[in-house]
Structure 1
C-alpha cells in the first residue's frame, strides 16, 4: 500500500521498478542507454512535480509586485493593462493548467514591464530586476530540477 501517492512518489516508484526489475534484463547497450535516459527524465519530472505549482505561484507574486512598481514609476499603460488583465483573469485555482494560464498572463505583464524599461537609463535598476526574475529564479530552479543529471552510458 502506498501511503504517499503523490506524482513525484509514483514517478520514483516507476524509476525503482525500472532499475531493480527491468534493467537487469536489458542486455543491449542501446537499450541500457535509453533506460538511463528514461530514469533521468523521470527523476527530473519527480522534482518538478514536487515544486512546480509553488514555483509558479512565487513567480506570479514576484512579477505582480514588480510590474506594479514599474507602473508606479513609469505610468506605462501597456504594462498597466496587462497587469489588470492578469489580475482580473486569475483563476485562484491551484490546478496545474489554471496555474499555467495565470503564469502566462502574468508573464505577459512582465514582458510589457521590461519593454517599458528598455532603453531608459533612469530605469536601468528596474530592467536589472526584471532580468533577475527571468534569469536567476529560473536558472536556480533548473539547477534543482537537474540536480541528479549524469552522463548517460557512463554509469
Structure 2
C-alpha cells in the first residue's frame, strides 16, 4: 500500500510489480532484455522525480556563482558575459518543471559558452568549466545508480 503517493513512489511501485510478476514469466530473451531496459528507465525516472528540480536549481546557482566570481577576478569573454547576464536576469516564476528547466537552460548556455572559451584556449575558464561539468556528471551518476549491463547473462535471474 502506498501511503504517500509521490511520483517516485508510484514509479517504484510499478517497477516492483513488473519485477515480481512479469519478469519471472518472460521466456523470450529479446523481450526479457527490453523489459529490463524499461525497468532500468523506471528506476532512473524515480530518482529524477525526487531530485531533478533541486539539482537543476543547484547547478544553475553554482554556474551563476562561479561565473560571477570569475567576472570579478577579470574580464569574461563577451559571449560568456552575455549568457551570464541573461542567467542573472532569470529567476523561475515558480518551481514547476517548465520554469526551472527554462532557467536551467540559461545556466547551461552560460556553461557551454564558458566551456567553448576554455576549449579555445582560455586557461582561466578551463578549471572553472571542468569543475562545473563534474558537478553535472555527479548528478547524472546519482540518477543512473549502479551500472547494469542489461541483457548480459550475469544479470539474469
Matched with 2:45 is 45
When residues 82 and 149 of structure 1 are mapped into structure 2, their CA distance, relative to the original with a 3 A threshold, is: same
Q: Which runs of 5+ in 1 are unaligned?
A: none
When residues 77 and 9 of structure 1 are mapped into structure 2, their CA distance, relative to the original with a 3 A threshold, is: same
Q: Shift in Å at residue 116 of structure 1?
A: 5.0
Matched with 2:27 is 27
Q: Give the Cα separation in 1 of the matches to 2:33 and 2:116.
A: 45
Matched with 1:131 is 130
TM-score between both structures, scaled by the size of structure 1: 0.84
Q: Describe the SS at the equivalent of 2:146.
A: coil
Runs of 4+ in 1 over 6 A off after TM superposition: none
Q: Give the Cα separation in 1 of the matches to 2:24 and 2:115.
A: 52
Matched with 2:5 is 5
The total of aligned residue pairs comes to: 151
Q: Give the Cα separation in 2 of the matches to 1:23 and 1:111.
A: 42
Q: 1:119 aligned to 2:121?
A: yes
Q: Which runs of 5+ in 2 are unaligned?
A: none
Range moving further from structure 2, 99-108 or 75-84: 75-84
When residues 9 and 116 of structure 1 are mapped into structure 2, their CA distance, relative to the original with a 3 A threshold, is: same
